[in-house]
Structure 1
Amino acid sequence: MLLIQPAAAPAQPAGKIPRLAIFSLSEPSSLMTEQSENRYYRALFAELRRLGRVEGQTLAVERYGRERNVAGAAALVAEVVRSNPDVVYVVGAGTQFFKAQTATIPIVGLTGDPIAIGLVQSLARPGGNITGVSVDTGPGIHGKRIELLREIFPGLGKLAFITARLVWEAVQGAAMRAAAGAAGVPLAEVLFEFPVSEAVFAAAIEQAVSSGANAIMVADLPDALAHRELIVKRIATTGLPAMYAFTESVEVGGLIAYSFDLAGLNKRVAADIDAILRGVSPGEIPYFQNTKFELSVNVKTAKALGLTVPATLLASADNVIE
């Protein structure tokens, strides 16, 4: 199929209310609001408002959450493309489907490494119709998470890593194996398939326990964030320490998380959306790579696990839950 690359995104005609579509295969549409329980959606809409993009006044928002994914991701993407919004914000998995189906609708993605997964050729000048923000900061993030987990749990032996097979085989596996090898930690990969459900995560946690691991790490996938309460509760029943990738997991009882700044990244997304609606080509907007991280520790959970949180770890934590 021949896709024609646009030279630039057209500026909005006077009097026309631009349309933003938000797409997520992991989260329900009900979370995609200015009053969302998820702080990053609140940050997105607050920044859009600051930029003069107010839903119902100067911006129309269409939501394509996981509840609309009844015929498969490609079919839902096709529905969005037929609707022809002025810009699409894709949260997590899905950006590749948009790349395959449209070269004209501007896309802003919250993704992993956009070069490794074939979205763009360059971070500085993405080209085409896709830009966004990347939560991928290279293989070092895995090593840092292992280091922090070992600091709070010096008895770390075999580590079970829960992630999606698709992500593991594409970019994550080699980096995680290298990080575990460098740390001298035996690794058991626990891989699940999309689509994800509570039953899928429950089975993955059971597999992690049966692997003989004495600690767990949960990958930084949107699905893990969406199902964080179930994951944290299930892992709590195992009695194993666990490292998470989202602050929100620690807020609901997880032991420790080393996470990227999702609220800050969504402010960047809002700026990209605003620029595109002002007529800037997405291909000319640099793909932003995350550089800010948050360390969160739940002291109550540590005590329940019989762990003592080192004073140095508490001093360096951005969020401490007593």
Structure 2
Amino acid sequence: MREDSNSYYRVFFAELRRLGQIEGQNLTVERYGREQYLSDAAALAAQVVRSNPDVIYIIDPSASYFKHETSKIPIVTITNDPVAAGFAESLARPGGNITGVSADPGPSIHGKRIALLREMFPSTSKLACIAPRVTWERLAGAPVRAAADAAGIALVSVPIELPASATTYRNAVAQASRDGADAIMVLDSPDALANRASIAESLADARIPAIHAFAEAVDAGGLMAYSFDLRELIKRMAGDVDAILRGANPADIPFYQVSKFELSINLKTAKALGLAVPATLLATADKVVE
């Protein structure tokens, strides 16, 4: 979680530096990781809040634990629907102590991903959706079911528990295969991003076409993705942190809602699966990995 890391934290700290917030000069950073508590996110949230920071920055599905612990310390996070999750009164005026970015453009995104996957693999008849259980039960389950129904495709859900590991996702892919799924949609979560290489490998072993929520999954060997620009979102979160450190009230900082998505396709993976990429799909791709 440093500026010299090979992760997205490099983007975050570089943007803070550009804005004048420089660690070791005018900024102190205390770092916490879920691995310290494994699945005990509540204990982690309690410890962080006890340290009484000026702002808490979270890339994690556990923002609800922090909301339970404090209504005063400003929090900047990335989430799906902050209004549905109870983090904000509205996107334009959050009204509480939480702001950040929303990676959920609305339920239509699921239909779009299903349509793209079906264009790549027209014989799709049974789709498995792999998602964190909390995401599936609170937010994604109903719209994904509606999108699958509209497409005339049978749906099976494969909820996973967080924190998830490579083994978690391998087991999820295996479960989807046992359930008779001939295609898979992997929803976005920090764990899916972190385990993208293992997920792609498991899907290749199972020989199941899949669509992902991160372009990085395609770089790691995934078939295709319809994704937002995570770097852009993280820069916006850094901007929110900077604004709060300069005195802004998170209640008045609008949640930014992602609106731009890009299609990525891995031709090598398509060939390994015996799929001929339609020319129309290839022509609309923003990124092609050969």
TM-score (norm 2): 0.96
Give the corresponding residue for 1:68.
36
Unaligned runs of 5+ in 1: 1-31
Give the corresponding residue for 1:288.
256
Amino acid at match of 2:2: T
Query: 1:176 is matched with which residue: 144, 152, 173?
Result: 144
Number of residue pairs aligned between Structure 1 and Structure 2: 290
Q: Which moved more, 1:186-195 or 1:75-84?
A: 186-195
Could you report, residue by residue, the CA deviation over 1:206-246 in whole angstroms, capped at 9, with x for unpaired residues? Answer: 11000111111111111111111111111110111111111
Instruction: Using the aligned pairs only, state the percent identity.
Output: 60
Q: Distance in 2 between matches of 1:82 and 1:316?
A: 50
Question: Helix, strand or coil for the counterpart of 1:60?
Answer: coil
Deviation of the 1:190 alpha carbon: 1.0
Query: 1:209 is matched with which residue: 168, 171, 177?
Result: 177
Give the corresponding residue for 1:122.
90
Amino acid at match of 2:136: W
Give the corresponding residue for 1:105.
73
Give the corresponding residue for 1:34.
3
Relative to 1, partners in 2 of residues 1:252 and 1:184: Cα closer, same or farther, differing over 3 Å?
same
Deviation of the 1:198 alpha carbon: 2.5
Unaligned runs of 5+ in 2: none
Q: Distance in 2 between matches of 1:276 and 1:169?
A: 32
Query: 1:200 is matched with which residue: 168, 186, 210?
Result: 168
Cα RMSD after superposing both structures: 1.3
Are the aligned partners of 2:38 and 2:163 in contact in 1 as well (CA < 8 Å)?
Answer: no
Deviation of the 1:71 alpha carbon: 6.8
Q: Distance in 1 between matches of 2:125 and 2:58?
A: 37
Q: Distance in 1 between matches of 2:48 and 2:131?
A: 28
Are the aligned partners of 2:74 and 2:244 in contact in 1 as well (CA < 8 Å)?
Answer: yes
Are the aligned partners of 1:126 and 1:286 in contact in 2 as well (CA < 8 Å)?
Answer: yes
Question: Helix, strand or coil for the counterpart of 2:138?
Answer: helix
Could you report, residue by residue, the CA deviation over 1:28-73 in whole angstroms, capped at 9, with x for unpaired residues? Answer: xxxx2223323x3332222111101122222222221232224710
Question: Helix, strand or coil for the counterpart of 1:63?
Answer: coil
Q: Which moved more, 1:82-91 or 1:171-180?
A: 82-91
Amino acid at match of 1:135: A
Q: Distance in 1 between matches of 2:179 and 2:5?
A: 37
Segments ≥4 residues shifted beyond 6 Å = none
Question: Helix, strand or coil for the counterpart of 1:182?
Answer: helix
Are the aligned partners of 1:43 and 1:264 in contact in 2 as well (CA < 8 Å)?
Answer: no
Give the corresponding residue for 1:48.
16
Q: Distance in 2 between matches of 1:64 and 1:148?
A: 38
TM-score (norm 1): 0.87
